[in-house]
Amino acid sequence: MSVTNEQVRHIAKLARIAMSDEEIERLVPELNNILGWVEQLGEVDTDGVEPLTAVIANKLRLREDKVTDGNCRDDILANAPVAEHGFFAVPKVIE
Amino acid sequence: MTDLTAKTIAELREGFRGGEFTARELAEQYNTAVASARALNAYTVETPDDALAAADAADKARGSDELGSLAGIPLGIKDLFATRDVDTTAGSRILTGFKPRYESTVTANLRKAGAGMLGKLNMDEFAMGSSNETSAFGPVISPWRRKDGGNAALAPGGSSGGSSAAVAAGIAPAATGTDTGGSIRQPAAFTGICGIKPTYGRCSRWGIVSFASSLDQAGPMARTVRDCAILLEAMAGFDPRDSTSLDLPVPNWETELSSDLRGKRVGIPKEYRIDGVPADINALWDKGIEWLRDAGAEPVEISLPHTKYALPTYYIIAPAEASSNLARYDGVRYGLRVETEGGLDAMYAATRAAGFGAEVRRRIMIGTYVLSAGFYEAYFTKAQRVRTLIKQDFERAFEQCDLILTPTAPSAAFGLGDKSADPIAMYLNDVFAVPASLAGLPAMSVPGGLDEQGLPLGLHLIGRELDEQGVLNAGLAIEERAGFTAKPTRWW
């Protein structure tokens, strides 16, 4: 499989990365080179092989249902590029 | 005064406790050393006051029972670890100015043991790279040079390139690293130091900037195997804040160190004899086999048949996880924001275009593609199936042996710029390191010797899951026999 300009433009949109036409042009062969290389996995017979989900066997733990933190709004907002009135501020989304 | 920067952590611990010097003297010597080595570009932030404060606390506590295992030892911290109120950027422009209001579990554990911080260490952006050239702060320059007189600037390895360069240059007695697909072991090999990646889950990932969560593990980088054992004991431990943290006691790796390998079988995987590896590296591998035999171990040939598929598997899984993890950099909660016309979506896209470097953008694009509708099964699920086979290869091999010995990397340090034009050539540098990462196994690099250009080469030990002890012990056996004492000649 190989990707086209249109597909790369679509992936960039999904990934929320702004890209110029020149960048997309440049990325198409780069990505195809990498995808062509990873496609050697097609040679491996994986019929009946389960996908690996946990690299070291481990049980997901449940913890007691109680509040363990909170009251840290200022810490959470401390690194926001823009925070107003105790909230993260974003560009206007509703006209 | 004695040059304290030449000592190992075990020696510093003795000397400090014995009253040969104060922790303040030690911190001051290191602070001076750090400031005098800026040409290496190893530190992105220097925190001399942090080192001094920990030193003063250690001096005050000396002689009391409360002295931690690392009391008064100043360390370099890879910039992937969140450090409270100190810039934490992961080598990326997108985290410019980010000062976490919390401390990672691993660095908190080190502080609890009494360690101080010399500064934050440069690294490949989001740990994506094998040469430190993808850092937004520019590459770290290796303290090592070839002996051909050409003075070419060499890569310190990556992604923990600041860590490896700092330890090799004597501007940190040891450093933290992280390893996703070789990022502790390959830089350790390139710079003539030791580095261990423990079993996945031994060190908490809480507060470590995420790259590929099913692979990321922290570990120490230091001058000796013993120092690695001391540090790993302090770093490891169960953490309820990381759902993949292993709820197991931390073994006494240091006191259990033993280079007596009688009764151990060391597997030599035939698939790791690959084309294009310099003769020096294969010769060192043969020497390593003899050293382990001399320590009492029995070498056995083993087969890891899916080895050649490890790298392509990794370059599907790691970018997939990265594309998901890095979705959080949206210009809203922390780091960079690029204001632009076009509303919220345009702000996201402009911020991420300006904030991520070329390699990170490339990996996010690959990851997004392999997870996208219609391709998920063919790429991502397929890779996870092959990952199962790679893990089974190791399980079968460990029925015939207790440890595996290979070279750490297929080359000595390469020059800055030598591989940056070809992503796949760069990826291939982790060919020996990645399989153990995919299987979550403990693995270590120990310096074995120098190549014909006078550059360090590493030997790589892989153990059964949770058998860090076996890895450290075999590392110690190699260290004792290799007699590696070479140091880079100071030019910086």
Q: State whether residue B218 is helix, strand or coil.
A: strand
What is B1-492's CATH topology? Amidase signature (AS) enzymes (3.90.1300)
pLDDT in tens, chain B (492 residues): 789 999 999 999 999 999 999 999 999 999 999 999 999 999 999 999 999 999 999 999 998 888 999 999 999 999 999 999 999 999 999 999 999 999 999 999 999 999 999 999 999 999 999 999 999 999 999 999 999 988 999 999 999 999 999 999 999 999 999 999 999 999 999 999 999 999 999 999 999 999 999 999 999 999 999 999 999 999 999 999 999 999 999 999 999 999 999 999 999 999 999 988 999 999 999 999 999 999 999 999 999 999 999 999 999 999 999 999 999 999 999 999 999 999 999 999 999 999 999 999 999 999 999 999 999 999 999 999 999 999 999 999 999 999 999 999 999 999 999 998 898 989 999 999 999 999 999 999 999 999 999 999 999 999 999 999 999 999 999 999 999 999 999 999
CA distance B288 to B407: 9
CA distance A57 to B200: 10
Place of tokens 């990996």: B363
Entry pTM: 0.97
CA distance B261 to B461: 13
CATH class of A5-43: mainly alpha
Query: How many Cβ atoms sit within 10 Å of the Cβ of residue A72?
Result: 11
CA distance B263 to B296: 7
Amino acid sitting at position A24: I
Of B327, B389, B439, the CB nearest to A44: B389
**Quick check: A73 contacting B, CB < 8 Å?**
no
Q: Which residues contact B11 (CB under 8 A, 6 or more apart)?
A: none
Q: Which residue of B has its CA nearest to A47?
A: B385
Of A19, A34, A51, the CB nearest to B424: A34
**CB < 8 Å from A in window 188-217 of B:** 199-201, 214-215
CA distance B468 to A81: 43
| Domain ranges for chain A | 5-43
Best residue of B313, B369, B370 to probe chain A, by most A CBs closer than 10 Å: B369
DSSP-derived secondary structure letter, B131: S
Structural contact between residues B47 and B117, judged by C-beta atoms closer than 8 angstroms = yes
Grade residue A60 by pLDDT with cuts at 50, 70 and 90.
confident
Q: What pLDDT score does A92 carry?
A: 87
